[in-house]
């Protein structure tokens, strides 16, 4: 486990977050806060972001399907938009994901 995560996280929590990310279907997105709520940690959206920034240490997860609550993609990760567009995710003129049409609703699956 990367050292900076080891103080606040245990591997069970990391895999709990990643297992939710793994469920996001192609063509849909979830927000960091949505994932935090789904694991019962509604105030830990930044923690979710930290875990996702190091997800490659734990396997291959579709982290590109996670954006902030307004649909903004991760800063410094230009490939994220390309990957989402390849899956049919639509963007608004301001460059953010169209959350109204593309946000994942786990209750509908």
Give per-residue pLDDT as tens, 55-84.
999 999 999 999 999 999 999 998 999 999
> Cα–Cα distance between 69 and 16 in angstroms, integer?
20
pLDDT over threshold 80, residue 3: no
- Run of H or E including 50: helix 45-53
Q: What is the pLDDT of residue 36?
A: 97
How many residues does the structure list for the chain?
109
The domain over range 3-101 is classified in CATH as 1.10.8.80: no
Q: What is the pTM (predicted TM-score) of this model?
A: 0.88
Mean pLDDT of all residues in 33-42? 96
């Amino acid at each position: 486990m990367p050292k900076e995560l080891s103080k606040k996280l245990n591997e069970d929590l990391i895999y709990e977050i990643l297992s939710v990310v793994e469920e996001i279907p192609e063509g849909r997105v979830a927000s960091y806060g949505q994932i935090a709520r789904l694991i019962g940690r509604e105030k830990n959206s930044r923690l979710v972001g930290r875990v996702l920034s190091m997800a490659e240490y734990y396997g291959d997860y579709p982290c590109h399907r996670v954006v902030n609550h307004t649909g903004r993609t991760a800063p410094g990760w230009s490939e994220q938009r390309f990957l989402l567009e390849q899956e049919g995710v639509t963007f608004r003129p301001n460059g953010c994901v169209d959350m109204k049409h593309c946000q994942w609703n786990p209750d509908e699956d």
